[in-house]
Amino acid sequence: MGKSGIRTVGKVDLEKPASTQSILHNRWHPDIPFAGTIKDGETVKIECVDCGSYLPLRALRTGGQIGNNDSADDVRNVDLTRIHYLTGPFEIEGAEPGDLLLVEIMDVQDQPWGFTGVFDKSNGGGFLDEIYPSAAKAIWDFEGIFCTSRHIPHVKFAGLIHPGILGCAPSAEVLDTWNQREADLIAANKLDRQVALPPEPTNVHAGAPMRS
């Protein structure tokens, strides 16, 4: 099928904040309405944002918060309640709860640049934040499948582009299981670090019902 024959089921606007776009959502929850429907076996095009956005995205990444510049201050100060906006969810016609869905990603097209970031220990941190407590950032410029960074000279490699996050909306029962599992981990934690996070109500964006 030629590109002109592929239906776009999810289209985003890189000039608008993600929180204003009904095609996007930033939580896993069974009550988030479908943004559209896809037929079983249909090839479709879905546009996405990079980690989501609450600011216009074209010149920024990670929720419109990370800029193409030489400072890691934006990584240090990133608002982690305003990231990971996902396109969808989509109803697969004929699918029932418990069905195994096979999704084949035919192609991924990227924006001109991306970044590698290390979150600050005081804001997100990571598994190695005792060794690397401060925020850091490297900007990568893409040329075809290859990327280079002015922040890491003399390095060039081919990337394996992927969507990052892809999943099925949970049922209420599955969501309850997730929340109980995380609550148990938090209660049992004896370490001086976060091992899990409870549901976060701040800056929830639950999309909007699909138009008829």
The pTM score is 0.84
Per the prediction, the chain carries an average pLDDT of 88
Q: Which amino acid appears at position 180 of this protein? A: Q
Helix, strand, coil tally for the chain in percent (to 5): 15, 25, 65
Structure tokens given for 18:
């993600």
Sign of CA dihedral 179, 65, 77, 117: positive
Looking at per-residue pLDDT, the higher value among 54 and 88 belongs to: 88
Cα-based distances in Å from 27 to 33, 51, 111, 206:
12, 12, 24, 7
Span 132-141, pLDDT tens digits: 999 999 999 9
First and final C-alpha spacing in the chain = 26
Q: Which of 115, 123, 104, 110 has the alpha carbon at shortest distance from 166?
A: 104
Q: Which amino acid is at 11?
A: K
